[in-house]
A and B are shown apart, each in its own frame.
Chain A
Amino acid sequence: MEITVNGVAQSIAAAEPDLLSVLKSNKIEDPQMVAVQLNGQFVESSQYAATILSEGDVVEFLYFMGGGSR
């Protein structure tokens, strides 16, 4: 199956890959630390494992960013 992850085409061997496994294969150690969009829509972290991807899906993820001078 071909999907796009952060703008780059990726081939997935699994027939029904879930979003969590795709994040893990993209070296996301802690999925709670990233925001994820699937085809332009935000996905709640509680739904990563239950979200099954389809051919041509577009996955975007990025790390939450914050900090402070305290």
Chain B
Amino acid sequence: MLKIEESVLNAIIDHAREDTPVEACGYLAAGDGIVRRHYRLANLDRAGDHFSMDPREQFETIRQMREDGLGPVAVYHSHPETPARPSVEDIRLAHDPGMSYVIISLAARQPVVKSFRIVETKVTPEEIFIVRSADEEVKK
């Protein structure tokens, strides 16, 4: 299960919309088991059907997370024109078994956000629980 503050969820949807037609990507960082913040990263590929992160920027981002008192728990990216499910490429390149993989689809009128665990090419959907920032009430 991925618990995420509502404001962060909205922010990654905004990021996906802003970067369209290019795929947006970034990290999600958690504190106390809840995603508190997103970190935008550049898509080196600048493509609508692919993304790659710059390792140098990844290192800088992870260090910033630590300074913020948070830790990485998920990678997110957008699918501007396809559904929110891992592509063959997503699965092939999902090397980190400790991460959740969040996909934001803009293919339909309303954005769709889904999260997956991907371990050795096995894909397992996971629930997303939205947490209101103010009172930390959890809703599905």
Chain A: residues with CB nearer than 8 A to chain B? Answer: 6-7, 30, 33-35, 37, 42, 60, 62-70
Question: When A and B form their complex, what is the total count of cross-chain residue pairs whose Cβ atoms lie within 8 Å?
Answer: 76
Give me 10 other A-B pairs in contact (C-beta within 8 A), A64-B53, A68-B51 excluded.
Answer: A42-B56, A60-B59, A66-B50, A66-B89, A67-B86, A68-B23, A69-B81, A69-B82, A69-B87, A70-B87
Contact between chains at B62 and A67 (CB < 8 Å): no
Q: CA–CA, A19 to B52, complex, Å?
A: 25
B38 to chain A, nearest CB (A): 14
Q: CA–CA, A6 to B66, complex, Å?
A: 10
Question: Secondary structure of the A side of the interface?
Answer: strand
- For B53, the closest partner residue in chain A by CB is A65
Given A65-B52, A66-B52, A66-B53, CB of A60 within 8 Å of CB of B95: no
Given A30-B95, A33-B95, A60-B62, CB of A66 within 8 Å of CB of B55: no
Number of interface residues of B (CB under 8 A): 34
Contact of B59 among A62, A67, A68, A70 (CB under 8 A): A62
Contact between chains at B87 and A62 (CB < 8 Å): no
Q: Is B90 an interface residue (CB 8 A)?
A: yes
Q: Is B7 an interface residue (CB 8 A)?
A: no
Residues B24-53 near A (CB distance < 8 A): 25, 45, 47-53
